[in-house]
Amino acid sequence: MIFNTLIVEKKEGILSVTLNRPEVRNAFNAELIADLTGVFTREAAAADVRVVVLSGAGEVFCAGGDIKWMKEGFNHSHGQNLEEARRLAVMLQTINET
């Protein structure tokens, strides 16, 4: 499976998830957050998955938040920023609990 922001492969009970935004050091943006949440909700939670390997393409695993994405937040309402923060929290919780 290939997403815009992830490379996902499953073989013999091992799910490999690679953050695939090396041009920005695999920094989080809304799309990466949604993709990771979806993969861990659907694929990593599958009964035939025993191990999940999470890695990053390029030289850096993950630089944190994408600066461009974060700057866009200045133009959003408080409610929109709160919703973005909730999506990030849900992603982290999903990864942690899967």
> What pLDDT is stored for residue 98 in this prediction?
87
- pLDDT at site 1: 66
What residue ranges of the chain have pLDDT lower than 50? none
- The first and second tokens of residue 54, run together, are 């999470």
Q: Give the global pTM.
A: 0.92
Q: What is the pLDDT of residue 3?
A: 86
Report the C-alpha dihedral over residues 50, 60, 76, 91, rounded to 10 degrees: 10
